[in-house]
Amino acid sequence: MVKLRFIQCFYMVVALTAFGLGFGPRPIIAAEKTAPASEEDVQVLASGPIHEAFAEAVALDPEPGIVAPKAPPALIEEIPPEQKPEGDVQWIPGYWAWDDERNEYIWVSGIWRVLPPGRQWVPGYWTPGGQGYQWISGYWASVKVKETEYLPEPPESVEVGPSSNAPSADYTWIPGCWVWQYGRYAWRPGYWAVVHPDWIWVPAHYNWTPRGYIFVGGYWDYTVIHRGVLFAPVFFPPRVHLGLTFSFSPGFVIDLNVFDDALFLWPRYCHYYYGNYYAPRYYRKGIYPWFSLHARRVVYDPIYAHQRWNHRNDHEWENHLQTRFRERRKHEGLQPPRSFDQRTRPDKAGGSSGSERLDVVMPLDRAGKTKTSAYRFKPLSEKERREFSQREKEVRTYRKERQSRETQRQIMPEKKASKKPEPNKEKYSRSPIMDRSNEKADRKKAPPAQYKAPKPNPDVEPLQRKDNFSRSWNKSQKSEDRGQKSEVRGQRSMDKFQELRNKGGRSEDRMQKSNGRQQRSN
């Protein structure tokens, strides 16, 4: 009898485990006290995605997020590191990201972030969609916005670059975009704007959601070195997070020098990547070096635009980037390490590290001692730890509210086929992660005045997209297959253009024509 009861209990536990892990949305684990993941179970990555709240590239034609073939694990209990940068920084929790090389999820670690003035962080989420689970990106919303407006799909971008020379070397080009007004989209053209050395302008853009497109107005952000501390992503073997509760505290940071060296863009995912993506297979996949023409055909990179301005007097800057990229692709010994072992430090399996080899990941205790570090660290007090722990729970609740709001079926009244699409609005609460600074009280830290964009031009005829994936991405995919030769030719034409532009003799609309001729010749 005892044996029979034991067997019944055993099968009941198996059944509950199966249903809890294999069906429906995975529950969020938020235990009060959990055991930390062992060092053997945490693989710090020497290459991977950069937290999207730290840096984002602007898609010229927004499109649905990538789809992973299986559900993400439950969110882990992420504990902020024991060391915190001095100043007004906030902790933004991490999230799961799909790694198709491993065919598994990796954890994009949380970050210490100096929030963009007047902004609040709306975290992204995974939701069932297509043949798996789809990623919905996070974004920086204005703290003044009290409701979300979900808009119809914007037309294809007609941005082709400048139509005139820059007024001076202190200007940069801000791309145009479609704006919704009077029940339709109107094209707001691009314009020249003065660059500010300590600030980066993120232009207006759209974010796709299952409910519609969200318009994010342009805003000022800090230069990369003043944004905070970026922690390396990690990989947990599936046996670690398969239904188990554990905690994790990031302890290894990414050297911010990667933002002008070993930086890459995956336009399809709208994420920056750091580390070693020099192999041709990554290029064919659509992961481009950050200075690549192919990347800039589908996204606007605010970091590149600012760096280009910083090096405006160096006519060979882009050529040096291209030369260094080719050298690293050719010589593996010059590439950043492929792996990182927190017990033996960099290059567990990548061979010997020479003086020319770039180590992009370092322990937290070294971060404040580097020449490029803009922060001093101090111990995290127990009060701050409790506050950040409570805020992490609030962020999880806020994320779930957003997911519910954007994925629930909307009951809409029947409309005639001829009626134009209309946006729908919904009020939402403010994010737990928001800028609370008083710009009027501290004008020295306040950002410059907002750029004054041109008025929309209602005479520009919108172009209907051909399918769910934007024209720009299809163009990018075709250009990928042409290989590296096309990239090198495009870069050479860009170098020639930049040299003439610095002399004041050529504008970017001619570069667009040059690129068009180059594409036809290929």
Q: Enumerate the β-bridge partners of residue 129.
A: 132
Q: What is the pLDDT of residues 196-207, one digit of tens each?
A: 999 999 999 999
Lowest mean pLDDT among 134-143, 295-304, 390-399, 494-503: 494-503
Q: Give the pLDDT confidence score for residue 51 in this predicted structure.
A: 98
Count of Cβ atoms closer than 10 Å to residue 79 Cβ = 19
CA gap 263, 242 in Å, rounded: 32
267 and 59 Cβ atoms separated by less than 8 Å: yes
Burial (CB < 10 A; 0-12, 13-18, 19+), residue 138, is buried
Mean pLDDT of 350-367: 65
Domain limits of the chain? 33-408+428-436+448-462
Q: What value does the mean pLDDT of the chain take?
A: 79
pLDDT of residue 427 exceeding 90? no
Q: Give the pLDDT confidence score for residue 444 in this predicted structure.
A: 64
pLDDT of residue 157 exceeding 80? yes
**359 vs 508, which has greater pLDDT?**
359
Q: What is the pLDDT of residues 7-35, one digit of tens each?
A: 444 444 444 444 444 333 333 333 345 67
CA gap 389, 391 in Å, rounded: 5
The distance of Cα 487 from the centroid of its chain, to the nearest Å, equals 23
Per-residue confidence band for 423, with pLDDT thresholds at 50, 70 and 90: confident
Q: Give the pLDDT confidence score for residue 409 in this predicted structure.
A: 66
- The percent of residues above 90 in pLDDT, for the chain, comes to 52
Nearest of 336, 255, 240 to residue 39 by alpha carbon: 240
**437 vs 258, which has greater pLDDT?**
258
pLDDT of residue 439 exceeding 60? no
pLDDT of residue 493 exceeding 70? no
- Continuous H helices in 159-248: 238-241
Q: What is the pLDDT of residues 38-67, one digit of tens each?
A: 777 889 999 999 999 999 989 999 989 999
Q: Give the pLDDT confidence score for residue 466 in this predicted structure.
A: 60
Mean pLDDT of 485-492: 40
Lowest mean pLDDT among 68-77, 109-118, 454-463: 454-463
pLDDT of residue 153 exceeding 90? yes
Helix 317-330 with 484-502: angle, nearest 10 deg: 160
